[in-house]
Structure 1
Amino acid sequence: MRFTLRRALAVGAMLTVAGVVTPAVAAYSQDDPRSCNDLMSADTPAYVVCHWLAKPEEALGVAMFWLSDDGASLKEATPSEGNFIDCSAPGSSCPALEGDDTVGDENSPAPEGAEDGGTPECEAGQQCSVDGNEIGGDGTPSRPEPGSAAAPSTSPAKTAATQSFATTEQEIAAAAQTPAGQAVVAAKATGIRVWLDTELADDWKAGATQFAAAVKRVGALAARPEVAGIRFTSQLGYNTTFKTDEEITAFVTAASAALRQAAPGKRLGVHTVVPELACGADEACKTEMRKRYPLVVPERVETLLSAGRADQISLDTGLLYGGYETWKIDAEKAHRNQWIQVRARSWDVLAQVAAEETGLVGQVTPEQVATRASTPVMDGAAQQVNLWTRVQNAQGTVNRLTAWDDLKKLNPIKRRLAAVYNPTTPEVDVTTDLKKISEVFSQVYLTTA
């Protein structure tokens, strides 16, 4: 193990952690020698507090200790013995679960014997179920009449769970000949990584047959090795496609499960807008945004991420440039508020966070390009920024990405920049367009039907 100053500083950087906590938790004054509030900008919200767990010089000392003498201390270190009890050892006493005489897992969802085909005991007057069949108090199955209020649901989510979404070699070969498939091949030639950008929400609502066909179509395209992932919905919970939180949960659960089967190993992503995040600490703003957009409050979005249904979430920045004047929150402050909130919530632990930026089409200044394309990444809130290359408004006016020269100056973060591109509306032709995109971006989201 060769010791170098760069390695020491790298280890030190990992050990130098700045915590973000609320004032109620942080009992640290401005005179606290471990405070790092001076590193934050003047407009940082008051509830964000910075505290060194290890100061830079301390972290360097720790790194020096472990790496000195060819890492001798690190080689000699052994795991802590810990406090463990061997329940099988004579004289050991391990607590049993409540209502049971044996050690087990309190999180087990099935009653004793159910794994072996047994039937759970139901008390008189009660009903329970096994494999979707209701069991009466006498232990006999109770099947409701078709069409009755208690009849089993035939929703797309339940039907899809019993279907197979695996794609055949013939389907994969056919997909490669489509315009989208040819765009994937063209992207491969440029060395750019590919995401498929599609919308499955309408197909899911249309029923199991249409949903299965859409999933298999996307799965066949995603079979190529250069396809890194699939973004399967946009504006989730913000648009009018879904009316309830239960619908959103059912859709994301079904789509995630189906795509994991149709395109194993591919990452899955969703796109949405969380308007409340840009309010910062303004309670009146947050209250209004929760009332306007109840399906995309931060807690509900976080619940979907916690369930592991998506590997990436793209947060749109479109509302940040004009939706908060009522509370005297300008575009710059709204932008900063959103990414401070995302960073404080540690969503990057649950999924990769990407900033979706539609505001750089048309005529923009170099300062706007640098701020909007790099701030989320440089602030540590997002790991990626997705820039649209073409935006068409409701009146049919098309604005195109023109700041190519300014974007080339962001080469240090090129790996974190992705372009959203529709191959059905090329500027020149797909091959030429993708070559130009690859000069600035390392990834591309190909819009597919």
Structure 2
Amino acid sequence: MRFTLRRALAVGAMLTVAGVVTPAVAAYSQDDPRSCNDLLGADTPAYVVCHWLATPEEALGVAMFWGANDNANLKEATPFQGKFIDCSASGSSCPELEGEGVIGDENSPAPDGVEDGGTPECETGEQCSVDGHDTGGAPVGNGSERTRTAASTASTTKPATTQETAEAARTPTGQAITAAKATGLRVWLDTELADDWKAGTESFAAAVKRIGALAARPEVAGIRFTSQLGYNTTFKTDAEVNAFVTAASAALRQAAPGKRLGVHTVVPEFACGADDACKTEMRKRYPLVAPEKVEPYLSAGHIDQISLDTGLLRGGYETWKINAEQAQRNQWIQVRARAWDVLAQVAAEETGLVGQVTAEQVAARVSTPVMDGAAQQVNLWTRVQDAQGTVNRLTAWEELKKLNPIQRRVAAVYNPATPETDAATDLKKIAEAFGQVYLVTT
């Protein structure tokens, strides 16, 4: 009986589907018997529509049909007889594959140099890939001479030597990595390479080498190499942003092989939800972080993690009567609808929990993004200094300790150059409430 019920539930689950569809399907009215819009939350954007492919009643009927009489119909079912051609049979004609050998076998043509362990080259002579990562080809979007120069830098970047790794371990950041390891924290390096990249090849190469030496240690899981990408004023054009991401990714893939790469940014349009006037204004203010400009970084494989700032969403949407909570919820609905978590790990960046906060605020800003399934991780700043020089510190330690079920998904952003006590003591405290730490590296 257990087997029968499991089969019935499996068939019902496959056929009972509620889908997110495009505005073209919005013509279905609320009176449509296949509409499941009543299952959507009150704050769901208007363009999200739910429609049953099979109503629960229909799905039950299908399940009962296949499960009746001890699965008699299911046992008697046979595979669909498709149309196949036996290429070995007399009179059969099958197309021949172009080139020598079967695609993927040992006789397949390969770029010059691969047999000797070299790097494949593009037809233009530029390096185009290393270990599956694009390094010298066209970047996402438009290319530039700066891209080729930076790609050339990437092609000469090598992993740190044993001596360089040992020297890096003796630096303040290296000592903080050691202290973090002792507490069991998973370590990311949080650095900024945009200014070094803009400064030229020599400065960029030196910065990549320094970060690569720190990241060479096995306890370092990844490198976040820029913050507020496209949102701040560092870059002026799409081409610049694309060239930087491509070059930084390529260089770090070589300098720190096997390490995950991440960026931090914000997509202001996401907070607008379905308000077209709001979206139009946000695109006008922040053209470099429109959703279609950000997604290529993920789909091209240049980065493995994207941190989306939620603190930057607070304020600025009053014109459209969107408060901070609605802005945050709109953002995560948009992320889920675009399935960005399929392309890269999505993290929520939260700077608004410093100072005095309530338990409800902690739950809303830490638990909600993870429990809703939109973000796989939440990054909290432990110290924030405003434009006037006032420093606000994280105080909600006891509330954060109560979030034990998601502790591994919560990371602290910590700068060992500005410790509260000392790095070892601070990191031990951080490990009581967090599972990961981003060490700010200058």
TM-score by length of 1: 0.78
Aligned position for 2:300: 307
What is the deviation of 1:383? 0.9
3-state SS of paired residue (1:25): helix
1:378 aligns with 2:371: yes
Counterpart-to-counterpart distance in 1, 2:391 and 2:229: 24
Query: Are the structure 2 counterparts of residues 31 and 271 from structure 1 closer, same or farther at C-alpha, using a change threshold of 3 Å?
Result: same
Q: Which runs of 5+ in 1 are unaligned?
A: 105-112, 118-128, 133-150
Letter in 2 for 1:206: A
Counterpart-to-counterpart distance in 2, 1:81 and 1:131: 50
Map 1:332-411 → 2, pairs under 5 A: 332-411=325-404
What is the deviation of 1:40? 2.6
1:213 aligns with 2:197: no
Query: Are the structure 2 counterparts of residues 152 and 412 from structure 1 closer, same or farther at C-alpha, using a change threshold of 3 Å?
Result: closer
Query: Are the structure 2 counterparts of residues 407 and 82 from structure 1 closer, same or farther at C-alpha, using a change threshold of 3 Å?
Result: farther
1:48 aligns with 2:48: yes
Query: Are the structure 2 counterparts of residues 402 and 163 from structure 1 closer, same or farther at C-alpha, using a change threshold of 3 Å?
Result: same
Aligned position for 1:198: 191
From 244, 248, 256, the counterpart of 1:255: 248
Q: Is the 8 A contact 1:94 1:103 kept in 2?
A: no
String of CA shifts for 1:149-205, please: whole Å, max 9, x gaps: xx9779642431431232111000111111111111111111110111001111111
String of CA shifts for 1:118-173, please: whole Å, max 9, x gaps: xxxxxxxxxxx8336xxxxxxxxxxxxxxxxxx97796424314312321110001
TM-score by length of 2: 0.79
Letter in 2 for 1:251: F
Q: Is the 8 A contact 2:147 2:247 kept in 1?
A: no
Q: Is the 8 A contact 2:222 2:262 kept in 1?
A: yes
Aligned position for 1:182: 175
What is the deviation of 1:212? 1.3
What is the deviation of 1:297? 0.5
Q: Percent identity?
A: 79
Aligned position for 2:234: 241
Query: Are the structure 2 counterparts of residues 157 and 32 from structure 1 closer, same or farther at C-alpha, using a change threshold of 3 Å?
Result: same
String of CA shifts for 1:237-280, please: whole Å, max 9, x gaps: 11111111111111111111111111111110000111111111
Query: Are the structure 2 counterparts of residues 170 and 49 from structure 1 closer, same or farther at C-alpha, using a change threshold of 3 Å?
Result: same
Q: Is the 8 A contact 2:151 2:251 kept in 1?
A: no
Which deviates the most, 7-16 or 259-268?
A: 7-16
What is the deviation of 1:50? 3.0
Aligned position for 1:172: 165
Q: Is the 8 A contact 1:232 1:268 kept in 2?
A: yes
Aligned position for 2:30: 30
From 152, 157, 171, the counterpart of 1:159: 152
Equivalenced residue count is: 405
1:297 aligns with 2:297: no
Q: Is the 8 A contact 1:279 1:334 kept in 2?
A: yes
What is the deviation of 1:85? 6.1
Counterpart-to-counterpart distance in 1, 2:193 and 2:204: 7
Counterpart-to-counterpart distance in 1, 2:429 and 2:6: 35
3-state SS of paired residue (2:367): helix
Which deviates the most, 37-46 or 373-382?
A: 37-46
Query: Are the structure 2 counterparts of residues 90 and 37 from structure 1 closer, same or farther at C-alpha, using a change threshold of 3 Å?
Result: same
Q: Is the 8 A contact 1:369 1:406 kept in 2?
A: yes
1:130 aligns with 2:124: yes
RMSD: 4.0
String of CA shifts for 1:295-320, please: whole Å, max 9, x gaps: 11000101121111000000011232
Counterpart-to-counterpart distance in 2, 1:152 and 1:327: 42
Counterpart-to-counterpart distance in 2, 1:268 and 1:432: 28
Aligned position for 2:409: 416
Aligned position for 1:138: none
Aligned position for 1:136: none
Counterpart-to-counterpart distance in 1, 2:411 and 2:396: 14
What is the deviation of 1:363? 1.2
3-state SS of paired residue (2:232): coil
1:229 aligns with 2:222: yes
String of CA shifts for 1:83-112, please: whole Å, max 9, x gaps: 67677887555679xxxx9579xxxxxxxx
Map 1:41-120 → 2, pairs under 5 A: 41-51=41-51, 102=98
Letter in 2 for 1:404: W
What is the deviation of 1:380? 1.5
Q: Is the 8 A contact 1:95 1:103 kept in 2?
A: no
Letter in 1 for 2:25: V
Aligned position for 1:144: none
3-state SS of paired residue (1:380): coil
Which deviates the most, 162-171 or 42-51?
A: 42-51
Aligned position for 1:143: none
Counterpart-to-counterpart distance in 2, 1:186 and 1:267: 21
